[in-house]
Amino acid sequence: MDDHKPVSERVYETPPTGRPIDEAEAARTAGLAHNEHLKIASGYLRGGLADGLLKHATGAISDDDGQLVKFHGMYLQDDRDLRPERTKKKLDKAYAFMIRLRIAGGVISPKQWLALDDIATTYAGDAIRATTRQTFQYHGVIKSNLKRTMAAIDAALLDTIAACGDVNRNVMAATNPAQTHAHAAAYALAKDISDSLLPKTNAWREIWLDGEKVVGGEEEFEPVYGRTYLPRKFKVVVAVPPSNEVDVFAHDLGFIAILDKNNKLTGWNVTVGGGMGMTHGETDTFPRTADLMLFCKPDEAVKVAEAVMTVQRDWGNRTNRKNARLKYTIERYGLKAFRAEVEKRVGISFADPKPFTFTGNGDRYGWTEGDDGRHHLTLYVPSGRIKDYEDGPKFLSGLRRIATQHEGDFRLTGNQNVIIANVPSEKRAAIEALVDEYGLTKGAGALRRNSIACVALPTCGLALAESERYLPHLMTELEESLARHGLQDDEITIRSTGCPNGCARPFIAEIGLVGRGPERYHLYLGAAFDGSRLGKLYREDVAASEIRDTLDPLFADYAKSRNPGERFGDFLVRAGHVAKTTNGPDFHDNIGALKPAA
């Protein structure tokens, strides 16, 4: 594809017809990616998992089963801090599993919170992480405890099905507590899409809960996915303007609520083709912001979601996983052809998208009163790590205590924070007292309020650099720099990841840090504050010790030369410090500082 021609001049490929190859010999002949062969041979995601769990000589599972187990909601990892010592002693790596839950819309009851807390303290090292995908994940669950952990999750009426893998993953939804009715509509849609696009295989219950096996020679059937599921992961979010806290443009499929003057839902704008991941040094991989595709009525949204996903199922690249996400499908075949196929599958000619406005992609900290009179408290949880900090907030203990008294629900946000939601007026003082007793944070400085970091080291096997453990130190340095220029109260988004897979969505942060190697990062600048525009690589392979000095003169120029109300990312583009990225294909063009910073 020629990425440099205007859209009107682009020549797109002809889309394929028919369903994906799901026969082993044909897959070999077609040269499909290794994971396609695994899925075909897996017996609907079973593989050798059941047998592998019985092999106690190692805490690991086979490489192939390591791919299949993702569909069940987990990754095999090891503690990389311990690798050198264990290697020296000729010991196996310190293997354990990360387990991620499927919680559409991020809403759970106090009873479920207590159950998840108990699982953490029993099997997962006394901590829970609130992820950037509005769910929880556990780290450090050893192989011999997997089935016990999964049984406990099931007992809480939750599961981990399709939290990872080449499927529709956890569906995110807007959490704005003030827009009670709009949030209810967003949450309902997230739940409906999650249920509709859930794999139907019984493998999860069979393997982890000793459920009944399919007998009598009957083969299972996946009516939506088929034997080979999707080419790659697929992520759906539901946003409610004016807040874009779910980062709708960073995902494969998005629904943006269109509200009337009374905040009543009239329908959804549909976005397609967003995604964050890329590979360092390979310019045919890139992050991309989603395109606005169409407007649909409320009762049409689930059908649209299924149609978008099945077009990606049939059109997505199954020979090269690095180019298999929906964003590359849109680039390859064009938005016009993709929309036409969606309309054909739904059987409706849809209207074009309606006007809307986003003002930011952060959370609203502290207390908020909803339009139904209930109260909601958003807590700042650094990098989503729910634990008891020595000489700091006692998140695990405090939220446990609150859950024993709270009568509403808890909500996770896409920014890794926690909302104590639906608090009656008469209960607010009691909740407030517990928050104060355990030192929970009802906010933070402007930079920290708009920060996200992925887990990275020591557990993530893909991490090239620190993220969660490094970002707080960096923000302390940057806060000093910002204060010196009178910018300490300015909202600026900053996000860090340990690798270019982009789990913390750094490419749409005004300051984005992407791990390149130990204590080295690519620095991206110039994204939009509302998450609608990608940043640009400003400086590559910058040492951690040099980041503050690199940004300080840019802060100085921003303080001196910005227009009223102008955001940091917009200023850097307007002032000529960094080029504007219009979308994925030009992400790698015109990189670097365009003029001296000072």
Q: Catalytic annotation on 213?
A: no
What gap in Å lies between CA 521 and CA 515, rounded to an integer? 4
Question: Which residue is catalytic, options 39, 387, 400, 503?
Answer: 503
What gap in Å lies between CA 555 and CA 543, rounded to an integer? 19
Q: Catalytic annotation on 296?
A: no
| Contact (Cβ atoms closer than 8 angstroms) between residue 469 and residue 519 | no
What gap in Å lies between CA 269 and CA 292, rounded to an integer? 7
Q: Catalytic annotation on 169?
A: yes
Question: Which residue is catalytic, options 102, 143, 164, 499?
Answer: 499
Question: Which residue is catalytic, options 227, 387, 454, 539?
Answer: 454
The radius of gyration computed from the CA coordinates of the chain, to the nearest angstrom, equals: 23
Q: Catalytic annotation on 235?
A: yes
What gap in Å lies between CA 282 and CA 9, rounded to an integer? 25
φ, ψ of residue 269 in degrees (nearest 5): -75, 140
Is 296 annotated to bind a ligand? Reply is: no
| Contact (Cβ atoms closer than 8 angstroms) between residue 163 and residue 73 | yes
What gap in Å lies between CA 13 and CA 7, rounded to an integer? 14
Question: Which residue is catalytic, options 39, 129, 133, 169?
Answer: 169
Let me know the angle formed at the C-alpha of 578 by 574 and 582, rounded to the nearest 5 degrees: 80
Q: Catalytic annotation on 454?
A: yes
Question: Which residue is catalytic, options 39, 46, 70, 100?
Answer: 100
**Which residue(s) pair with 388 in the sheet?**
394
SS3 sequence, 285-300? CCCECCEEEEEECHHH
Question: Which residue is catalytic, options 339, 385, 449, 460?
Answer: 460
Question: Which residue is catalytic, options 70, 235, 495, 536?
Answer: 235
DSSP letters for 505-563:
-GGGSSEEEEEEETTEEEEEE---TTS-S--EEEEEEEEGGGHHHHHHHHHHHHHHHPP
- Strand extents, DSSP E, 134-233: 136-141, 172-173
End-to-end CA distance of the chain: 39
Question: Which residue is catalytic, options 233, 327, 332, 400?
Answer: 233
Q: Determine the 3-state secondary structure of 212 from DSSP.
A: coil
List binding-site positions for [4Fe-4S] cluster: 454, 460, 499, 503
List binding-site positions for siroheme: 503
List binding-site positions: 454, 460, 499, 503
- Residues with a catalytic annotation lie at 100, 169, 233, 235, 454, 460, 499, 503
